[in-house]
Amino acid sequence: MEINLPQTYLIGLCLLLLVIAILVGRQLYKVRTDELKLIKLEKEDSNTKEDSAKMYELASVQLKKRLYPQATSTLKQALKKLNGEPEEAKALIENALGFALAAQNDFKSAVIHYKKALAAKSEYPVALNNLGFAYQRLLNENEAYKNYQKVLKIDPKNKTAISQIKRLERIIGKGKDQLLERKGF
């Protein structure tokens, strides 16, 4: 069977369309699943024993849907309902709250919550990375650099910390060079 150029083109086009259809279908499925989960969690009665856990789950879905103000409110309520939960749970909620605030460009408040997460769980690389990012956005590169260094002590192969340290070294290095030029060295 000979395949000529138009047939090859059509086969390739059909395969490309099939791949696109699969990717779009997967994305629609994920969005629909998140929507249903959000509706279910919002309808559930919040007077159950697992208040903070359910509220954290609801806030996680809200964060996925980029409903940052609602997630912030939900996470604050979850913090109030933390009773007898392990410190790790508090760290997760504080980190998520910091993330929601950072997504709304409130980096000063985000720093406060990331620090609270680290007070609850000192070796928490995600919170340290997030804190470093918040410091970068506040133009405090030295503090950001220190936090990324702490991440590498905990997780030496952390890709985020490695790439951000390289980036900060270029920025900080340029800043030192400019400072030396101004002083006449």
Looking at the chain, the number of H-run helices and the number of E-run strands are: 8, 0
pLDDT tens per residue, range 47-76 = 444 577 888 888 888 888 888 998 898 888
CATH match for 108-185 among 1.10.10.10, 1.10.10.60, 3.30.420.40, 1.25.40.10: 1.25.40.10
What is the rounded distance in angstroms from the CA atom of residue 117 to the CA atom of residue 113?
Answer: 6
> Which has the higher per-residue pLDDT, 1 or 16?
16
> Rounded to two decimals, what is the model's pTM?
0.71
The candidate with the shortest Cα–Cα distance to 64, out of 88, 89, 33, 90, is 33
- What's the pLDDT band for 176 if we cut at 50, 70, 90? low
d(C-alpha 130, C-alpha 136), whole Å: 10
For helices 125-137 and 141-154, what crossing angle results, to 10°? Answer: 170
* Per-residue confidence band for 180, with pLDDT thresholds at 50, 70 and 90: very low
Residues 19-52: tens digit of each pLDDT: 999 999 998 888 788 777 777 777 764 444 457 7
State the number of CA atoms in the 13 A half-sphere of 120 facing the CB: 20
Are the CB atoms for 58 and 38 separated by under 8 Å?
A: yes
**Average pLDDT rounded to a whole number, residues 94-106:** 93
Residues 6+ apart with CB under 8 A from 1: none
Higher pLDDT, 91 or 172: 91
pLDDT recorded at residue 6: 82
Domain chopping of the chain, boundaries: 22-85, 108-185
Tokens of 105: 């460009």
pLDDT digits (tens, 9 = 90+) for 110-155: 999 999 999 999 889 999 999 999 999 998 888 999 999 999 999 9
Q: What is the pLDDT of residue 181?
A: 47
